[in-house]
Amino acid sequence: MDSTLTLAAPAARAGTPRLRVAVIGGSLTGPVAALLLLRAGFDVTVYEATPASASRGGGLIGLEHAALDILDGLGIPQREFIAYDSETILQVAVRDRRPAQTVRRTYPGRNTTWPLLHRALAARVPAAVLRTGMRVTGLAAHTGRPVLRFADGSSEPADLVVFADGRSSIGRRLLDPDRALRYAGYVAHRGIAVHAPRPGLRDFVRMEPCPGAQFNVAPVPGGCDWTFYLGCTPAAYERHFGAPPTRRVFALPQHISPAARSHVDAQADALLPPDHAAVVRATTARMAVAVLDIDPPTRMVWPVGDGHAVLLGDALAPVRPHTARGANNGIEQAAGLAVALTQHRKYGADLPAALHGWQRRHLPAAVAAVRRGPVIGDRLGLGAR
């Protein structure tokens, strides 16, 4: 466990009960929330549905300064998860497979990858805190306390349940069932080209070859990470990846059909400069992510008996990747939650008031990010109309 987390927690006000917190989700937002709450002196257990032996992964993530500062506060040095410190975004208009115009922008943050950041976080979550292979199936109040029910038939009580379980959140289905995911009509095809023929790549490059397509590429250790946004009907998605887009929101390498691979290669050859098309073709293991929308959230906190449950990050409001706000929203919300709970624990602040104050501060940013995604998609000609 990192030395930052061994510091003495703030002393609780006499008579303030010690909250037992259950964090659902072990990807990124969940571990951040767990580490912050452990540091603040709470009893925390993280429940992750995926078994420990299962392979997991993800692509490039942009972290803004606020999120980076929160990770700094947890004692995670940037050198551990930031391999390239460029803040430059090169926005390139492509015409007839040739760069026609380049605009240089500065990103207020750094880029990392899901594996690098997850590894840094997982290394600091104490083994006794994390329970894998624990898929939540229900939440109800029993003798006044929230009780989680799991697929293996077991149950666990808590005082506060923090759902940080991603776009397909069981927490959202339990707490806010009227907000269902909707397919936006296009796919983020992703891959990491190992030792790809892109010498000297250092910055994040965004290519816009035509309305209805966008190609992003950036350096990662051992190669380059690329994302190719292309339109796709629901029927074509099911043919290419074996299930509807709102059911298979992530298509892992084993789900990528030969037809899907051929389609992406053909689009790269038709739209991208030859060296970038070669990067796509050189990529063996690929993934695909359905771009999804959802109605903006109207709340983040729910009473469960005498306790509470909250939604964080993508569990609350999955956003289109063009917004670059998915991970940032989750990390910032987790930090704000830790502050609110610390005021309750340390000074006896009213817990419902503290949670609703946290909601009042963070809900508008989540709503804005949900609404901004389709606007960006429309500008790029991406998505169903």
Side-by-side strand order, sheet with 223-231:
98-106, 88-95, 204-210, 213-220, 223-231, 182-194, 286-293, 250-251
Q: Provide mean pLDDT across the span 270-291.
A: 94
Query: Where are any strands of DSSP class E within 5-143?
Result: 20-24, 43-48, 60-64, 88-95, 98-106, 109-113, 130-132, 136-142
Q: Taking the alpha carbons of 195, 197, 202, 203 in that order, is the dihedral positive or negative?
A: negative
pLDDT at 292 over 60: yes
Find where tokens 């084993």 sit: 254
pLDDT for 385: 56
| Buried b / exposed e along 140-150 (16+ C-beta atoms within 10 A) | eeeeeebbbeb
Whether the Cβ atoms of residue 113 and residue 122 lie closer than 8 Å to each other: no
Share of the chain above pLDDT 90, in %: 86
Structural element, H or E, at residue 207: strand 204-210
Q: What percent of the chain has pLDDT above 70?
A: 92
Q: Would 3-77+114-180+294-379 and 181-293 be classified into the same CATH topology?
A: no
- Helix, strand, coil: what percent of the chain each, to 5? 35, 30, 35
> Structurally, what CATH architecture does the domain formed by 181-293 represent?
2-Layer Sandwich (3.30)
Domain boundaries defined on the chain = 3-77+114-180+294-379, 181-293
- The CATH number of 3-77+114-180+294-379, from 3.40.80.10, 3.50.50.60, 3.40.50.300, 3.30.110.40, is 3.50.50.60
pLDDT digits (tens, 9 = 90+) for 41-52: 999 999 999 987
What pLDDT, on the 0 to 100 scale, is given for residue 4? Answer: 38
As a whole number of angstroms, the distance between CA 22 and CA 75 comes to 23
Is the pTM higher than 0.75? The answer reads yes
- What pLDDT shows up at residue 194? 84
Question: Lowest-confidence range among 48-57, 101-110, 147-156, 281-290?
Answer: 48-57
Helical spans, DSSP H, in the chain? 29-39, 65-73, 114-122, 170-175, 234-241, 258-271, 274-282, 313-316, 326-347, 351-379
Q: What is the pLDDT of residue 326?
A: 93
What is the residue whose two structure tokens read 């289905």?
Answer: 173
Q: Give the model confidence (pLDDT) of 201-215 as tens digits.
A: 889 999 999 999 999
- C-alpha closest to that of 191 among 40, 72, 97, 58: 58
Distances, alpha carbon 180 to alpha carbons 170, 174, 202, 295, 308, in Å:
11, 11, 39, 8, 22
In Å, what is the CA distance from 347 to each residue of 5, 15, 58, 160, 310? 21, 10, 40, 18, 22
The tens digit of pLDDT for each residue in 254-273 reads 999 999 999 999 999 999 99
Tokens of 371: 């609404």
The single residue listed with the structure tokens 């990770």 is: 71
